A and B are shown apart, each in its own frame.
Chain A
């Protein structure tokens, strides 16, 4: 079948400006997008740059956008994209620094972030027989996280990365989970210094896009939430987030539901005049429209005492 490939091009050794090249290719009906790219490079344009490694849908090296959607070009069939016509547009991922054509900077995109979370085990002192034996049951969940093959699909799907490229992202945070929850891990607090810092777990919007994107069912979002719950348990160190969570928890504990006026003020910090002033224009507008809930005037829900009991029990049991 005859298919037209429209490919994103950029050559730093020429003018470095992005453009597009068009190639009509004759390929078998079951060809993959990578087959098409190889044919173009072999037969018509040897300067075309793209990546691929395992050619079996594992390593993620070949990931590009096909008609706007992120796909492994080595497994994506051309025929799956020709429904609306025999034309394919190929681009690098949404948010990556491009090196040349379809080749982008994996270090900036993912590897530097994975390195930043210390992706290795720092074990506690081994037992007297020299080994840190872990029951298999405890490793089961971690093995799932360990089956991550760094394809980067979760980062590609992430909602935060397009607005903030420096966010650590689901792939690196999944790696962090794998070591933070390892029973042999020496110092969880120390690991959390990075994780609770800027661009870490508290910047995640927990939108579950990563879970939807991961081809291995690793559920990176749920891992990030587990890291956050663990931080809550240990005592959150990120100051602003800690104030927000404490206020949220206190209001549910005291009244059964959320006092939003109080939450807004307490999240800023009661002595943080500058932060509080920043809230004023919105608060004033909201007030005028009868919209702003007045803090601390919040009525208790019926059953609030029962909820408080549940809350305190939950806190106790996980200590």
Chain B
């Protein structure tokens, strides 16, 4: 089982704990990663489409040359790439234009066959839950976990959940929490925006969103939150102290990256998953986990 690995900028930049955790977890699971190095940033929904589509087409063409599907560990990368791929696959004329004008010079061509899948989707759709279960070394019994998806791994429908069957993607994280033996703390905002995209334009609104989601999870008794999106992590973890100050309440909710959460259930120690690198201290999670072994 092999993927062209697209780790994204944030897993090595603002969230440097994510990249190594994902690599360790993939190795443990037996997922081979061939990292795409010679490719660009997806644009993250900041760069306009007319610039990011050709950059993403180049990424897809590189993966196509390797004959591998792309695996991401970032909901935002997933979303931006899914949307670009939807346009490029669905419109041969558009694809031909991008090939001609942007990729031909490098002798690249995107034929429209590359699949892009987040690790979360890979687990359910390619890897198999039974196989995952057989590798669990530390079912996370008693750990109460709130899911937080990030927008781009759930919407827009035509690119993310194009068939009825794939509508299930909207629930993978909820399902996974149970599969890893943890307890689900459901929150109303799990599929909403974390606020990160407007941190620059409207900080107050952005922090209010952080306070709302983390606050609700805390009130409902969650020990932590898990997210497949490092940008959500940047806001929910990194800006949680500022959200606490703005909203005038204490929250203190640890936020785990998806691979860290998986890693703990696969038997890695919190240290190996770099939990110490978070802004919100993760002691509650660590002590619960240490009692499980």
Q: CB distance B192 to A207 under 8 Å? A: yes
Q: Which of A225, A256, A313 contacts B102 (CB 8 A)?
A: A313
A318 to B101, CA, bound (A): 13
**Which residues of B238-293 are within 8 A (CB) of A?**
238-239, 241-242, 276-279
In the assembled complex, the CB of B210 is this many whole angstroms from the nearest CB of chain A, namely 10
In whole angstroms, how far apart are the Cα atoms of A252 and B17 in the complex?
A: 22
Question: A252-B41, A256-B41, A313-B101 known; A163 and B212 CB under 8 Å?
Answer: yes
Residue of B nearest to A264 (CB): B14
Q: Given the complex, which residues of A lie within 8 Å of B10, measured CB to CB?
A: 258, 260
A289 touches B278 (CB 8 A): yes
The CA of A313 and the CA of B193, in the complex, are separated in Å by 32
Pick the most buried of A198, A212, A302: most chain B CB atoms within 10 A of its CB. Answer: A212
A303 touches B40 (CB 8 A): yes
Which residues does chain B contribute within 8 Å of A244, judged by CB atoms?
A: 46, 200-201
Interface string of B101-144 (1 = CB under 8 A from A): 11001100000000000000000000000000000000000000
Determine the chain A residues whose CB is within 8 A of the CB of B37 once the complex forms.
Answer: 301-303
**Residue A205 interfacial (CB < 8 Å):** yes
Contact with B15, one of A164, A240, A257, A291 (Cβ below 8 angstroms): A291
Q: Say whether, besides A282-B242, A314-B50, A257 and B277 are in contact (CB < 8 Å).
A: no
Q: Is the CB of A238 within 8 A of B201?
A: yes
Kindly provide the distance from the CB of A227 to the nearest chain B CB, expressed in whole angstroms: 11
The distance in angstroms between the C-alpha atoms of A160 and B151, with both chains bound, is 13
Report A-chain residues with C-beta under 8 Å of the C-beta of B147: none
Establish whether residues A286 and B208, one from each chain, have CB atoms under 8 Å apart when the complex forms. no
> Count the B residues whose beta carbon is within 8 Å of the partner chain — how many?
54
Contact yes or no, B55 A311, CB < 8 A: yes
Q: Could you tell me the distance in whole angstroms from the C-beta of B158 to the nearest C-beta in chain A?
A: 9
A259, closest chain B residue (CB)? B13
Q: Contact check: which of B38, B47, B152 meets A301 at CB < 8 Å?
A: B38
- Contacting pair A310 B58 (CB below 8 A): yes
A248 touches B46 (CB 8 A): yes
Interface string of A211-249 (1 = CB under 8 A from B): 110000001011001001100110000101101110011
Q: How far is the CA of A302 from the CA of B51 in the complex (A)?
A: 19
- Complex: chain A residue closest to B102, CB-CB: A310
Note all chain B residues with C-beta closer than 8 A to A207. 151, 155, 192-193
Flag if B198 contacts A252 (CB, 8 Å): no
Given contacts A212-B156, A243-B200, 4 further A-B contacts (CB under 8 A): A205-B193, A208-B156, A304-B40, A313-B101
A interface residues (Cβ-Cβ under 8 A, vs B): 159-160, 163-164, 167, 198, 202-209, 211-212, 219, 221-222, 225, 228-229, 232-233, 238, 240-241, 243-245, 248-249, 252, 256-261, 267, 281-282, 285-286, 289-293, 301-304, 306-307, 309-311, 313-315, 317-318
9 tightest Cβ-Cβ pairs between the two chains A and B: A208-B155, A303-B38, A229-B48, A202-B201, A314-B51, A258-B9, A307-B40, A207-B151, A205-B193
